[in-house]
Amino acid sequence: MNENKVVWALSGFGDEISPDPIVQIAVLQALGANHIEVRSAWGTNIVDLSEEDLQRLQGLLSKHNMGVSAIASPIGKVDVSEPVEAEVERLSRAIHAAKTLGTRYIRIFSFYRAEGATAESIRGQVMERMRALASAAEAADVILLHENEKDIYGDTPDRVLDIIETVNSPALRVAWDAANFVQVGVKPFTEGYALLRPYLEYLQVKDARSDDRLVMPAGEGDGEMQATVNALRDDGYAGFASLEPHLADTHHLGGFSGPAAFGVAGRAFNRILDAAGVATR
């Protein structure tokens, strides 16, 4: 390989493939990934896994030489009226899982609001909670990755930037999700890339159509994914690209694709990488 070739680490949400970590690992490795993003195993969310199962998962990943790119926690995917202490406590479990599985990255969100409430009306509560989470992350030497999930406070580029700049913590960075931006009426690259690139530390890979908000394989929607990948390549991005296809089912805590659809998503993203001259490891 050309020593100047841009190389990113390919990963993916294992539980979009199967509840069984063995199947998750096999499919990801067949796609050329040597990392996994852990959201759940054996049907149990990562923050709810018993210590026994967490150790069992760590043993399986180690046996198969599989690294962990991030803990895909549900932290912040609750109404902003919930006590901040509850989310800090759940974050402590996500931090323990991150330490056990050997990653510094933990995916989080920035809170839902009551029906009819405006984003501006919950801003103060959001910032209080995000500061508390970031403080816990700083103390534990981990990095929180804010995902721009639709309908949370930070679902548009300007509000994501508001969170990052207001909290102003080295332990809080951006996970970029093009499909989620499309689903709230944003043109991701055109309207968000320049704003958020200084803080963009992790790439989640899924696309969506703007007309019906349907999630699509990378490059088949309106997520401007080729432009984004090209720009990241030119900017010197060298981090993770994590497949999160959501091609078969979507629910409150995530989505599901199954092995076949996950493979479709992986091959679609590889075509974008090939066009950009980006290799994976």
What pLDDT is stored for residue 160 in this prediction? Answer: 98
β-pairing, 67-72 with 249-251? Answer: unpaired
Residue 218 lies in a domain: yes
Asked if the structure places residue 29 within a domain, the reply is: yes
pLDDT in tens, 119-165: 999 999 999 999 999 999 999 999 999 999 999 999 999 999 999 99
Give the CATH number of the domain where residue 50 resides: 3.20.20.150
Q: Which residues pair with 41 in a beta bridge?
A: 44
Is residue 252 over pLDDT 90? no
The residue range of the domain holding 186 is 6-280
Query: Is the residue at 260 inside a domain?
Result: yes
Whether 37 contacts 46, CB under 8 Å: no
Mean confidence (pLDDT) of the chain: 94
Confidence of residue 104 (pLDDT cuts 50, 70, 90): very high
DSSP codes of every residue in 92-112: HHHHHHHHHHT--EEEE---B
User: Considering the domain boundaries, does residue 1 fall inside one?
Assistant: no
Number of domains observed in the structure of the chain: 1
84-99 pLDDT, tens digit each: 999 999 999 999 999 9
Number of other residues whose CB lies within 10 A of the CB of residue 55: 12
Burial of residue 1 (number of CB atoms within 10 Å: 0-12, 13-18, 19+): exposed
The type of residue at 158 is: D
Output the pLDDT for position 201: 98
Round to whole Å and give the CA distance between 39 and 201.
Answer: 19
Which single residue is written with the structure tokens 């984004």? 228
Q: Is the pLDDT of residue 180 over 90?
A: yes
Q: Name residue 96's amino acid.
A: H
Task: Tell me whether residue 233 is in a domain.
Answer: yes
pLDDT band for position 260 (cuts 50, 70, 90): confident
CA distances from 102 to 59, 128, 157, 173 (A): 12, 29, 30, 19
How far apart are alpha carbons 178 and 246 in whole angstroms?
A: 13
Residue 1 has pLDDT above 70, yes or no: no
